[in-house]
Amino acid sequence: MARKDEFGGTWWAKRWTSALERLGWSSRLQRGRTYARQGNVLEVKVRPGRIDARVQGSRRRPYRVTIDIQPLSDSDWDRAASAMAEHASFAARLLAGEMPENIEDVFVQCDTQLFPHSERDIDMSCTCPDWANPCKHIAAVFYTLGTEFDRDPFLLLLLRGMSREHLLAALREKRAQAAAAGRDPAKVLVYTLVTVIVDETDDKARAKFEDYKRHVSYDGALVLMSGWSGIDFGQFALRADMQPFGARPLGRQR
């Protein structure tokens, strides 16, 4: 029987495998556990949005596995880095080779996901003759990735489009900007407006969200946030750096 943590003992490695198993591939993924356990995955290369691997099957020549996962956009990563800059411990934990346990909250706050959320997030292929997708060779790569992410959490971030060097540089830059503006980097504030969208299934909720985005008014959202915070956000460009200043409520005080 496989040990529970044989494909990664850290929370982020376990979260990777559990996220995949929740996509409805559990029975097919199980076929790859033995291959992964026996070391049939000969090579794994991770780059932004793509995984290339070689897996030894029953034939002499190893099969080639390709897995594509849509990387996050530059704007998604910019928002995520700004949110991470709120937490003084994030850079320290990442530098120590650990993934902060609340890092998923940062991505949710930025209206995106760190881990795959739907089958539509993943495109995969294998040169084997098996018609199933994922086949056992692809499944073996998925489990082996858990071990690789266990060893180096930055590989997970790289897969989603951000290298270790660029992320840490972005965190240092945003915290330096806050300090230069007279702000305590440990108290950087990121204003967000969150709308929770639910439905009977994930697909229906996602469709509702796509329809919702067509009717979003950035000006209206800024007015609403201005009333809540007492800061006139209308005076700033959407991506402008904000300098510290005194704020007073725009509406009636109680």
In sequence order, the 6+-apart residues with CB closer than 8 A to the CB of 104 are: 15, 114, 115
CB 219 within 8 Å of CB 199: no
What is the model's pLDDT at position 95?
A: 66
H/E element, 68: strand 63-69
pLDDT in tens, the chain (254 residues): 344 456 778 888 888 888 888 887 777 778 888 888 889 999 999 999 999 999 999 889 999 999 999 899 998 998 888 888 777 677 677 767 677 877 888 888 888 888 888 888 899 999 999 888 899 999 999 999 999 988 888 899 999 999 988 988 888 888 777 777 766 655 555 555 566 777 778 888 888 877 777 766 666 666 666 665 566 666 665 555 555 544 444 444 44
What is the model's pLDDT at position 194?
A: 62
**What strands lie across the sheet with 63-69, from one edge to the other?**
41-47, 50-55, 63-69, 122-126
What is the model's pLDDT at position 48?
A: 94
Helix/strand/coil for 225: helix
H/E element, 54: strand 50-55
Helix/strand/coil for 154: helix
Cα–Cα distances (Å) from 9 to 46, 149, 158, 188, 247, in that order, read: 20, 10, 20, 33, 47
Secondary structure (DSSP) of 82-149: HHHTT-HHHHHHHHTT---TTHHHHHHHTT--SS--SGGGEEEEESSS--SSS-HHHHHHHHHHHHHH
Which DSSP symbol is given to 44?
Answer: E
CB 151 within 8 Å of CB 45: no
Q: Tell how far CA 182 is from the center of its chain.
A: 31
What is the model's pLDDT at position 184?
A: 62
Q: Which runs of consecutive H residues, i.e. helices, occur in the chain?
A: 11-20, 26-37, 74-84, 88-95, 103-109, 136-151, 154-159, 164-180, 202-213, 218-229
